[in-house]
Chain A
Amino acid sequence: MRLPKIRLYLRKSAVILTAVFLSLLLLFTTNSWAQSQIIVSGKVTDVKGIPLPFSTITEKGTSNGATADAEGKYNLRVGKKATLVFSYTGYKTFEASSNGLATLNASLSVDLQQLDNVVVTGYGSQRRREITGSVVTVTSKDFIKGNVGDPIQLLQGKVAGLQISRAGGNPNQPFTIRLRGLNTFSGNESPLIVIDGVLGGSLDVLDPNDIESMEVLKDASAAAIYGARASAGVIIVTTKVGRGASKPQINYSSQVSAEEISKSPEMATAAQYVELGGQDLGSRTDWLKEIARTGISEVHNISISNSSAGGFSYNIAANYRNQNGVIKDASSYKQLNTRVNLSQRFWDNKLILSSSLAITSRSENQGYQQSLVQAYYYNPTAPVYGKDGKFYETKEQDRYNPVAINKQNELNRNLSTQLANFRAEIRPFKNLSISGTYTEQRSTEMTGEYSKRDSYMGGALVNGWARKATTDVNYSQFDAAITYTNALEKLKYVITAGNSYNYDNIQTQVAANSDFITDDFSYNNLGAGQGINKNGVVPVEGNVAQPQNFVGSSQRESLTRAYFARANLNYDETYFLSGTFRREGSSRFGPNNRWGNFWALSGGFDMARILNLPLDQLKVRGGYGVTGTLPNVYYGYISTLGLRSGGYANGQFISGISPATGYNPDLKWEQKGELNFGVDFGLFKRLTGSLDYFIRNTKDLLNTVDVPSPPNQVTQLLLNVGEIQTKGIELQLSYVAIKNKDFSWSIDGNMSTAKTILVEYNSKSDQTILRGGGAGALGGGANAIWTKEGEEIGQIYAQPFVRYNPNGDPIVLSKDNKEMVWSSGTFQDNARPVANSLPKVFAGLGNNFTYKQFDLSIFFRGAFGYSLVNEGRAAFENISGIARSNVMVTKGEFNKSIILPHYSTRYVEDASFVKLDNLTFGYNVAVKNKKIIQGIRLYVTGQNLLTFTKYLGADPEPRYFNPDNVSEGRRGNNFTGNSLFPGVDRFYTFPPTRIYTVGLNVNL
């Protein structure tokens, strides 16, 4: 029992650290060190004397700083001999010594390369000029604007190679994040998120308003410092820290949005439905209209920030969002975030103590996806309410009144997190920095579900059904790092070494009961139900059609420990070299394979300087690195006993105990090797950009594959088998077309390609082909997506459609190009690859204009060269189900002589699209009297305004996975799924939405 002790020790250290921190804070916040300081004030302008509003002024070597006002004026308390660094995005930083001066004006020249901007690279930072990996920085001024609830959306379309996608506009549905294509099957397919140094953080706990910048570490040489979990890349998020000039800065911003469905499947109207032979129940109901609304959302944000003369700085922010999606009684959430970032410097910056505290509470009303499904295909002649005033039900199999679904059922999710982070940094000598960081994060997620006693969809079966589940996650992390910076003549070097330890513990509790005497308890009084008394409980909870009684709980934990080191060399600002090593161990592997070594080497040189070219920069760089992936399974290697259903003894069911399945003592790290070549360039002070080429191979893939039975107990096990390879090119450009006193125009664009090939699926099996993406409503359960060894992931297989014969039967081509009647039984022998479902090219293009106090930004986003399987059309563009289901009548495609559903190239559609994703128009109010108000900005934003596509479905966004629950699940919200079978547009997908936002920003 060593570990609990260590954990205790860690907790103790945290407590001591906190105590020390707080007492030091008390001791030293007095002004005893301020006497050697002076106040410097001045104005920051460009070379023509035009003020640069809100430019940043920092005292070099410290985090002391201030932000200028709207006229570029600032004042800042600094040391007598301090060096001030003036920076403004898009301009060269300017350094000047205060040297006892009271006034210091600065004029900055345009720097299109931003070569000296500091880039956070994990356990340290580098200047952009020195970076040898593939790293993209997006700062808050370039974030996506408008009603953005999920911080990751801020980057959507902005970074070449980073795909952020969500089909439909459900505000409670997470985005799918892919960096450079698919990297794993069974681990985390999304990049590692690092928030202010905390690994594996969840973006849920952040408000977009609190974010200063995000860096995307794309290749392995950049990400290797994060080792075992970095194989899908890393996104580093930095939150805002204290700024100001002896006077607190207050910022208030607020916005109101209206959201509406932008496109939905074309279903028959009631009149059309009756004409086609549907049963006329007498009413005329547009079900989608009945459940939809214009969602009105509001966001309020207030932040107070200052950097005082005593070396104390803070940023306190509170954010409130009330988000309402387009489906009534569902798709809404409220979220309150508060974040306090504090920092105190001592002894001429020889000691810096800082801390972050953040609390988030979010309550979601998720509702049921099923209400959407039913709204599409429920009988449009049925009334919402029957004559008895109750919800009308047609009582057809699997058909439920769409309005009743969200009125009679509730599905809520509450999330609350608390984060505390303490950091101490000491610089005993000029060149040495030692830091320690301790983080503790707790989060509790509660899901509550109640189906009323009259809910035909669920509760009515068992006289009311309630379920409540909680998940508690406890996470702690301790990092210690030492950094040494020095120079030998022209060679500058930075060496960093340290270690990292983290621990997470997950506990779940769930209970479900039925048979309630009243609906008033909802899910808050589970003991009131008689279901458990009458019928007992099931031993393993399943997502089955009928509501079950269930009680269960679980707990698991995982520990990780790592040692790392890095050296960055810079010779004469011309030659750069970087080497990284990380050794990491995880409790998710057996003792034999517990530790893994991850490393990277990268280098670059500036051709412009070497050859003395008339360019700002032409840096050629290359690197190779190895990163890993942790399995999602915690105890995959241990032989244990666990619960198994189906136990029966002495005439009754009992809890069966069985060896836990999936025992694999050989489980080990999955390793990704990635080679990256790139060029960073800056031309004529106007154009900057970078071009990258990468190739990466993931080997020993953690993959749940078929194993022989006999001798195995199960037919699938998590093994290290298989290999995938991804190649791609990425181009990121930034161009200033016009820049003068009144008018400016800049263009930002990016383009990327990525192609993932399944090199080997399972080295221990002859299986070379996988089929999926069928089931659901595709005709007869034909599997549309096949993945074959040696081929790209996401191949769509189908038989070419020829025509319908006079009976309405679909005629398709067979394997040898003969005409045949389509049938699900002969599909597999005759299908051929007809398209791929993952885009070949992604692109983003932004135009920013400013004219005097006005600004305008227009952002387009697109994906090209891919197709989707339109499941809705395949399933409902025929009259087979008309007795129970409405019919899809897509213009130009529907024909009433089509009787049965089928699947062929008729339903494989090119989904390439360009979206006018964001259009923002802003006005900065000229404030004359700046006594109180420093600046006001008003803006309007439109999101998802226009879509240019040939695709007939509602939303052409790529589908990166096949939803887990492909049946018409009553509860499933389908937020996760199998990435090997992408590309099927499920007809129950949430509809896409268009959002209009009006916003206000006030600086005090």
Chain B
Amino acid sequence: MNKIKNLLPALLLFGYVMPVLTSCKKLEPQLYDQIKPENFFQSKDQVVAFTSSGYANVAGYFGNFALEVGVTSDELSNALRSNDGWGTNDLQMAHAFKANAGYVGNGWNNTFGGVGTCNRLIEFLKKLPTDQKAAIAELRALRGFYLWQALDLFGNIPVELRFEEANPIPAQLKPDQAFTIIETELLQALPELNKVKSQATYAKMNASTVYMILAEMYINAERFGVAAKWTEAAAAANTIISSGDYSLTPGYFSNFLIKNELSPENIFVIPFQRNRIDNNIVHQSLHQSAQKTFGLSAQPWGGYSIKSDFYNSFEADDKRRGMFIVGQQYTKDAGPIWDASLGFKYSNPQAQYKLYNWSEDYNLLSNKEREFWKLPTLSAGQTYKDLSAADQEKAGSIVIDPSPNPIPRTISGRSEDMIKYRDEARMGKFEIEAGTNVPTGSDNDFPIYRYAETLLLRAEALWRLNNTSSEALNLVNQIRDRAGLPALKQLTAETLFSEIKHELAFEGKAREVLIRFGHWEDDWNWKYRDASKPGATYVPDISKRFFPIPESALNTNKNLKQNPGY
């Protein structure tokens, strides 16, 4: 009896233990919130959702080209101001590019991240049993766009178009070799792409966008050791013009308003939407006090301002000067608005709405600095609030001087030459929704390619082929006419250069135009050969036409060599 009692639970237990001991050797987990590829790609929408993820890095153009590279050009400034939280930018402004700098690494990672994503997406699509020719062509064109950006920035780039079978450490190509591969890729993609503009192609690769990339590549071809391709550039631009899909808007600023997605000039844009990806280019530039101008719930960033030489290069009656915010600033009662033709202005700038009593940055100056700028000085223990009303007006009102007088570090003892706290013109090219609760950005789509650039590209290409081309002159005058400027009688390198620079200001094109017209090694604000002038001293060096290969890329890929000159 006892034995049976002993045996019963033993048997029971073995019943449970043994099966578990021997089974269940495979440990395959189930997927829940991810998809198995074999279950996807059943509909057109699904393919579109798939290819659309390749565009995620396009938004990087905004930071890379418009802002970070904008600071290295003659457009944007990031000079030291009192209480400036923006770090040391004199070296970046003076083309002392560093391989470990954030802006260098960001440019590399963003463009090659886009390339890698496209490679992976393309390989996925190629393996599908269904025909995905159109989607593959779109992604090849997109990959061409990323590669072109990388080539433009770094020159000697690795080109790897595979993903799973990729060389883990691809070698660099010469710029001309990369140029040819990118050109071939784009040309091969072209036949499968949408020829006609539609809502489906907005912010997507269609034939016109690819012709714009090609036109831009051709017009800059010589920089990459490729023979001049002026004819090809003119032809590529002409294909877009003759498609009749695009036209100039009557007012320049229609392109930069909050609702600008209907602009007939847009060829390829970064689609911005508040709450998702914000266009905050203007917020990054405005002085903190502009919170009161636009009734924002928080202060803008107060970062990028505009170099005075660039500001002053505009003709007095150029309507495009509405992209600058200068002079006395007001509260939102003064009615800040954007006019489709004239850009930013106050509709009711009365004295009572003046912005004043801004003591923050004044208090942080030394008396030496106050004297230098002819501001009221303070004795020991005093602050702004101890000033007389008249002096407070002088020290605390928000008046933006677009041509400030920097104080040399030799006088101030600071680590860099410094401008007065709220000086240099601020950016107002993109409309801000006044009174909005959201502090960090707006909806305005950011144009990477727009029709005005198409016209200017064709004009320049024709002018390069024949500098008396009447079509070229005519195209440039179309642009000038809209800006309210008199027609030119003839085109010179300088008038053409100036027109392109002004029309495409802050759209990320300045660097390539400066290089193409031979001005990249010129002196401009914060970058002078003369050591006595403000900013870091510059020694002209054509190797600075490319940025250095980032340190992080060199660390991880032994086959990469640093660009010459670094």
The segment from A123-131, A656-664, A748-756, A915-923 found at the interface with B is: A656-664
B487 within 8 Å of A (CB atoms) = no
Complex Cα distance A16/B15, Å? 11
Is the beta-carbon distance between B364 and A879 smaller than 8 angstroms? Answer: yes
**A708 is an interface residue with CB less than 8 A from chain B:** yes
Check if B10 sits within 8 Å of A428, measured CB to CB: yes
A546 touches B415 (CB 8 A): no
Neighbouring B residues of A649 by C-beta, 8 Å: 48-49, 52, 200, 204
Residue-by-residue, is A782-814 near B (CB-CB < 8 Å gives 1, otherwise 0)? 000000000000000000000001111100000
| A634 contact from B5, B29, B100, B360, Cβ within 8 A | B29
Q: Is B91 an interface residue (CB 8 A)?
A: yes
Q: Which residues of A contact B335 (CB under 8 A)?
A: none
Complex partner residue of A279 from B120, B169, B385, CB under 8 angstroms: B385
Q: Which of A539-594 contact B (CB under 8 A)?
A: 539, 545-546, 548-549, 553-561, 563, 585-588, 594
A559 near B27: Cβ-Cβ < 8 Å:
yes
Question: Residue B438 at the A interface, CB < 8 A?
Answer: yes
Question: Is there contact, CB below 8 Å, between A549 and B275?
Answer: yes
B24 and A2 contacting across the interface, CB-CB below 8 Å: yes
Interface: B399 (CB within 8 A): no
Task: List which A467-513 residues lie within 8 A (CB) of chain B.
Answer: 478, 480, 499, 501, 507
CB distance from B259 to the nearest CB of A (A): 12
Is A10 interfacial (CB-CB < 8 Å)?
Answer: yes
Known: A350-B6, A640-B36, A713-B119. A767 touches B556 (CB 8 A): yes
Task: Chain A residues near B169: list those with CB within 8 A.
Answer: 708
Q: How far is the CA of A707 from the CA of B59 in the complex (A)?
A: 22
Asked if residues B16 and A13 are in contact (CB atoms below 8 Å), the reply is yes
Check B275–A2 contact: CB distance below 8 A: no
By a CB distance below 8 angstroms, the chain B residues around A780 are: 87-88
**Given known A707-B556, A709-B112, contact A347–B5 (CB-CB < 8 A):** yes
Interface residues of A in 823-841 (CB under 8 A from B): 823-826, 828
Residues of A within 8 A of B439 (CB): 461, 545-546
Over the window 8-32 of chain B, the binary record of Cβ atoms lying under 8 Å from chain A Cβ atoms (1 yes, 0 no) is: 0110111011011101111111111
B244 at the interface (CB under 8 A from A): no
Cross-chain contact of B56 among A17, A563, A585, A646 (Cβ < 8 A): A646
Task: Tell me whether A275 and B116 are in contact (CB under 8 A).
Answer: no
- Bound together, the chains give a CA A501 to CA B26 distance in angstroms of 12
The interface residues of chain A lying within 8 Å CB-to-CB of B54 are: 658
B-chain residues with CB within 8 Å of residue A1004 when the two chains form the complex: none
Chain B residues near A428: list those with CB within 8 A. 6-7, 10
How many Å from the CB of B313 to the closest CB on chain A?
29
Question: Does A639 belong to the interface (CB within 8 Å)?
Answer: yes
Q: Is B353 an interface residue (CB 8 A)?
A: no
Tell me the bound Cα distance from A920 to B163 in angstroms.
Answer: 65
Q: Which of A50-58, A175-183, A622-630, A881-889 contacts B (4 or more CB under 8 A)?
A: A881-889
Known contacts A586-B27, A654-B48; is A635 also within 8 Å of B34 by CB?
yes
Q: In the complex, how many angstroms separate the beta carbon of B531 from the nearest chain A beta carbon?
A: 18
Question: Does B37 interact with chain A (Cβ within 8 Å)?
Answer: yes
A357 at the binding interface (Cβ < 8 Å)? no
Say yes or no: is B83 at the interface (Cβ < 8 Å to chain A).
yes
| Interface assignment of A536: CB less than 8 Å from any CB of chain B | yes
B271 at the interface (CB under 8 A from A): yes
Check if B546 is an interface residue, CB within 8 A of chain A: no
- CB atoms of B555 and A646 under 8 A apart: no
Q: Is A46 an interface residue (CB 8 A)?
A: no
A710 x B115 contact (CB < 8 A): yes
Q: Is the Cβ of B359 less than 8 Å from the Cβ of A279? A: yes
Check A641 against B200 for contact (C-beta < 8 Å).
no
What is the CA–CA distance of A10 and B16 in the complex, to the nearest angstrom? 9
- Across-interface contacts of B170 in A (CB, < 8 A): 708, 710-711
Does B297 have its Cβ within 8 Å of any Cβ on chain A? yes
A282–B15 alpha-carbon span in the complex (Å): 80
Tell me if B196 counts as interface (CB < 8 A to partner A). Answer: no
Q: Contact string, A819-860, partner B, CB cutoff 8 A, digits 1/0?
A: 001111110100000000000000000000000000000000
CB of A893 within 8 A of chain B? Answer: no
A767 to B21, CA, bound (A): 46
Most-contacted residue by chain A among B91, B359, B555 (CB, 10 A): B555
**B437/A480 in contact, CB under 8 A:** no
What B residues does A549 contact at CB under 8 A?
Answer: 275
Contact check, A641 vs B37: say whether CB atoms are below 8 A apart.
yes
Is B366 interfacial (CB-CB < 8 Å)? yes
Interface membership of B488, Cβ < 8 A: no
**Nearest A residue (CB) for B86:** A780
Q: Say yes or no: A781 contacts B415, CB within 8 Å.
A: no
Contact at B6–A561, with CB atoms within 8 Å? no
- B384's closest neighbor in chain A, by CB? A277
* Docked-complex contact A557 and B32, CB < 8 angstroms: yes
Q: Which of A696-755 contact B (CB under 8 A)?
A: 706-715
Asked if B555 contacts A706 (CB within 8 A), the reply is: yes
B19–chain A nearest beta-carbon distance, Å: 8
Whole-angstrom CA separation of A424 from B59 in the bound complex: 61
Docked CA distance A711–B147 (Å): 12
**Interface contact B88-A557, CB-CB below 8 Å:** no
Encode contact with A along B404-432: 1 for CB under 8 Å, 0 otherwise.
Answer: 00000000111110000000000000000
Interface pair A654/B52, CB less than 8 Å apart: yes
Given contacts A657-B49, A781-B87, contact A561 B25 (CB under 8 A): yes
Would you call B234 an interface residue if the criterion is a C-beta within 8 Å of the partner chain's C-beta atoms? no
Chain B CB within 8 A of A945 CB: no
Question: Which residue of A is nearest B147, CB measured?
Answer: A710
A881-B84 Cα distance, complex, nearest whole Å:
10
Contact of B52 with A645 in the complex, beta carbons under 8 Å: no
Question: Given A3-B28, A649-B49, are A644 and B33 neighbors across the interface (CB < 8 Å)?
Answer: no
> How far is it, in angstroms, between the C-alpha of A646 and the C-alpha of B160 when the chains are bound?
24
Q: Is the CB of A809 within 8 A of B415?
A: yes
Residues of B within 8 A of A520 (CB): none
Q: Is B117 an interface residue (CB 8 A)?
A: yes
A821 with B415, Cβ < 8 A, contacts A546-B275, A549-B275 known:
yes
Assess whether B33 is in contact with A555, with CB atoms less than 8 Å apart: yes
Chain A: minimal CB distance from B117 (Å) = 5
Out of A16, A398, A642, A807, name the residue touching B33 (CB < 8 Å): A642
Q: Nearest chain A CB to B91's CB is how many angstroms away? A: 7
Q: Which residues of A have CB within 8 Å of B412?
A: 807
Interface membership of B346, Cβ < 8 A = no
Q: Nearest-CB distance from B206 to chain A (Å)?
A: 13
The one of A398, A648, A821 that contacts B55, using a Cβ cutoff of 8 Å = A648
Q: What 1/0 flags go to B144-179 for Cβ under 8 Å of A? A: 000000000000001110110011111000000000
Q: Which residues of B contact A396 (CB under 8 A)?
A: 299
Q: Is there an interface contact between A651 and B299, defined as CB atoms closer than 8 Å?
A: no
| Minimum C-beta distance from B347 to chain A (A) | 25
Q: Please indicate the chain A residues that have their CB under 8 angstroms from the CB of B381 in the complex.
A: 275
Alpha-carbon distance between A879 and B5 when the two chains are bound, in angstroms:
84
- List the 5 shortest-distance A-B pairs measured between CB atoms, nearest first: A825-B88, A711-B166, A713-B116, A555-B32, A883-B360
Other than the given A640-B35, A648-B55, A713-B117, 15 more pairs (CB < 8 A) read A3-B24, A13-B20, A545-B439, A555-B33, A656-B49, A656-B52, A656-B56, A657-B50, A657-B53, A658-B50, A706-B556, A766-B556, A809-B415, A824-B88, A826-B88
8 contacts between A and B (CB under 8 A): A3-B28, A350-B6, A556-B29, A587-B29, A657-B50, A709-B113, A766-B555, A828-B100
- Give residues in A with beta carbon < 8 Å to B: 2-4, 6, 9-10, 13, 16-17, 20, 275, 277, 279-280, 347, 350-351, 395-398, 424, 426, 428, 434, 436, 460-462, 478, 480, 499, 501, 507, 535-536, 538-539, 545-546, 548-549, 553-561, 563, 585-588, 594, 634-635, 638-642, 644-651, 653-660, 706-715, 764-767, 780-781, 805-809, 821-826, 828, 879-884, 899
